[in-house]
Structure 1
Amino acid sequence: MRSHRRDFLKSSLAASTLVSMGSTTVPAFLARSAQAANARANDRVLVVVQLIGGNDGLNTVVPHGLDGYAKSRRVLRLPAGQIQTINKEVGLHPAMGGMAKLLEAGRLAVVQGVGYPNPDRSHFRSMEIWESARREEGALETGWIGRAIDAMPHPGGRDTPALHVGSRVLPLALKAKHSEAPSLESLEQYRLQLAGNAGDQRTMREALDQVARLDRAVDDPLLGFMRRSTLTAYDSSKRLEQVIKPATDKSQYPNYGLARRLELIAQIVKAGLGTRIFYTALDGFDTHANQLGTHAALLTELSDSIAAFQKDLATSGQADRVALLTFSEFGRRVAENASGGTDHGAAAPLFVVGPVKSAGLIGAHPSLEDLEDGDLKHHTDFRRVYASLLDAWLECPSAQTVGPGFEPLPLFRSV
């Protein structure tokens, strides 16, 4: 046993001195994920896209045929002839052609009138409510996804069920008590890099292959732990390299930040690393002034990025196992302001993309005449949407995550 252990330690330490991971060591999530990859390659995946700033729902899902829209939106009114039609009264913003095609393909559900009772118009507080699925104030230690991943079965405790993609600090939504959701901005952060010249790299790979052949019957706990950590990181790196090469050579994604983040998520999904929930964001929706151009650009990025993501998944045969949710901390006021923008509001629509049960509108559009302090009244609590994603999609009981009494919506078809 001593000779095996000595040889392995020598190989592992030598390899570790040649591993470069940017600013970090070989991340634990790669080591954990590869262990479960084969067993969980067909699990359903959820991608959450947060629209930061408070998206103007009225100019996203546009009630152009309803009384009150033209009266409240003189500067910001979108011409009915340019709207991407959903029905005779409601349509998508003209910039959302990609999402309109997903709607035609039966891949997009629009949940209208989403919010919560006694809405808060503070960015920080409303984001806290949406991300935690809790109304109590004070120090909140966990988010709704964090509680969900704590409740999920983790094969051997070694996979990483959730991953944050972006440069923000870890969102509250992903904070858990017993699990850790890493953050990354690029796959280069997590690829196993064997430094040195070609000969050095070949030597290290041979050392890792030799480690794989060691007699497992004589392993002690330290030896077993080091072998698993090294080999699973190496295996994950090889999986990622196989997926990265074709995607990097000829990307089909538009040149947007959100598109690149979704491309990265698609690469990880296709690599089969076992992660079930991905979280990313698009910022800039706090449109208090000169909204028309800014909002159109944001919705173009959102729509084109999601459309490219769906096309990528469909091409690789992964589309029916991935659902995508968009949400924002609140909508905007019905009436435009004097600066050609909109102020903080309440209820708004959200999107669910994937194998939805019924494409199109879910729920009636809130009245534009019967307002609450100038805002749309919600009729669907956002926690019902979360309950749908947890119970029906991820097969994770929602009551312990969002609380009891939130009946799931019939969002998904059987796949």
Structure 2
Amino acid sequence: MAGNRRIFLTRCGSAGVASVGVSMPGIWRSAVNAAGLLGMPNTKGRVLVVVEMAGGNDGLNTVIPFADDTYYKARPVLAVPKDRVLKLNSAVGLHPKLGDLRTLFDDSQVAVIQGVGYPKPDRSHFRSMDIWHTARPESVDLRDGWLGRALERDPKALAGGVPALALGSEKLPLALLSGRVNVPNVQSMDAYKLLPGPGDQSAQARAKQTLREVVALKATEAGGELDFLRRTADVTLTSVDRLGEVAKAYKSGATYPETGLARKLQVVARLIAGDMGTQIFYVSLGGFDTHSRQQPVHELLLAELSGAIAAFLKDLKSHKLADRVMVATFSEFGRRVVENGSLGTDHGAASQMFCIGPGVKPGVTGAHPSLTDLVDGDLKHHTDFRQVYAALLQNWLGYPAEPVLGKGFQPVDCV
């Protein structure tokens, strides 16, 4: 026992044993990731991809009320000229940098839900983001998120594997937090390689040999503190080759833009194409807190959002998978109606959400909020964001909405 234990600790690092997932050496962090990813059975079900627009997106310059002169009076500098707006109907249109999204709209693949928010809106990034992630505006209970609670209703998710995945976040988004379902949060596909980085064949062979030696430890020798890694190594050895095959077999059916969001969504497309069984993916695009010099920053962000999602859906369509996938966007709040003195906008309240994919009920849902009937200078919401969540849960993923969100949230007719 002592000899085996010393070998194990020497090769794997005692810090990794003491704190799994925090300070694990790369081989063990990757082993745990690979084992979890491949443990989920093939469900061939629907997929939800959540795109967080972090910072508070300016909804008024995203879905533009070009027919309302109040918009132009409130924003003499930042307002988008009428002749540049990509019109959706006689009242509103998209920012000109959302051209790819407009094409998807024309193809009946976009639902625009206007006037989304919640009662007594909070202008704090942190508090408002907590509210959107937990779907509990009236509570400061941060033990779980709305998607985490939904997963707890799914026996397959409780059984193991990776029913959901956060990609590219510094920490697991609160929306996915659960006390009963483990959701991994990874930076990139490299985290799923046996040895992150280029590595040579001999290094791969040494890594596999280390795993074999750990698997060879009897359960009684490993003890409770090592048994988890022993079982993880066993699953990894039998599944890492399959993961490699998935990666090699994947061929993108679209040219993705060279942007951060596009790279994340390409990884998501690869995993969906590999039929790994993950139902919920979560990615984020930051930078929307545009207090100053908003125009150039906001234009770049909207172009990144639009181009990445369009490439993602084109890729999935080439694999005949687009019908299974829904993209939903949100931001923690909108911006104020009146531009500020720094060529930007300040924290506001109501905004819009997009649901994107062949499975949506397309069009513009709800009237644009009034630009004159305001609350402390902010747009009033007429659709609770939990109504959109209810549609995504109940009408798309097939989860019961009421146990997750509470009573009284009629699903929006967008899915």
- Where do residues 190-269 of structure 1 align in structure 2 (5 Å cutoff)? 190-193=192-195, 198=201, 229-230=232-233, 232-245=235-248, 252-269=255-272
Partner of 1:179: 181
Query: Residues 16-415 of structure 1: matches in 2 within 5 Å?
Result: 22=26, 24-38=28-42, 40=43, 42-154=44-156, 157-193=159-195, 198=201, 229-230=232-233, 232-245=235-248, 252-412=255-415
Name which of structure 1's ranges 191-200 and 153-162 shifts more when overlaid on structure 2: 191-200
Q: 1:82 to 1:235 in 2, by over 3 A?
A: farther
Q: Is the 8 A contact 1:313 1:319 kept in 2?
A: yes
Change (3 A) 1:72 1:233: same
CA contact (8 A) 1:333 1:343 kept: yes
- Once the two structures are overlaid, the 10-residue window that deviates more, 164-173 or 334-343, is 164-173
TM-superposed CA distance for 1:161, in Å, is: 1.4
How far residue 411 of structure 1 moved from its aligned partner, in angstroms, is: 2.0
Question: What percentage of residue pairs aligned between the two structures are identical?
Answer: 47
Distance 2:160 2:329 in 1: 29
Instruction: Answer yes or no: is the 8 Å Cα contact 1:284–1:298 preserved in 2.
Output: yes
1:63 Cα deviation after fit? 0.8
Query: Which letter does structure 2 place at the counterpart of 1:170?
Result: L
Deviation at 1:113, TM superposition (A): 0.3
Deviations 1:194-214 (A, max 9, x none): 9996578679989999xx9xx
Distance 1:201 1:126, change over 3 A: closer
Q: For residue 341 of structure 1, report the CA deviation from its aligned partner.
A: 0.8
| Cα pair 1:164 1:181 within 8 Å, conserved | yes
| TM-score, scaled relative to structure 2 | 0.84
Report if aligned partners of 2:250, 2:273 keep a CA contact under 8 Å in 1: no
What is the CA–CA distance in structure 2 between the aligned matches of 1:32 and 1:283, rounded to whole Å? 28
Task: Give the equivalent residue in structure 2 for 1:5.
Answer: none
Q: CA RMSD in A?
A: 3.5
- CA distance change for structure 1 residues 133 and 260 in 2, over 3 Å: closer, same or farther? same
Deviation, 1:238, is 2.9
CA contact (8 A) 1:37 1:272 kept: no
Q: May I ask how many residue pairs the two structures share in their alignment?
A: 394
What is the Cα deviation at residue 112 of structure 1? 0.4
Q: Where does structure 2 lack aligned partners over 5 or more consecutive residues? A: 13-23, 216-223
1:280 is displaced (CA, Å) by 1.2
Give, in whole Å, the separation in 2 of the partners of 1:111 and 1:239.
40
1:129 counterpart letter in structure 2: I
Aligned residue identity for 1:353? I
Distance 1:121 1:197 in 2: 51
Distance 1:76 1:264, change over 3 A: same
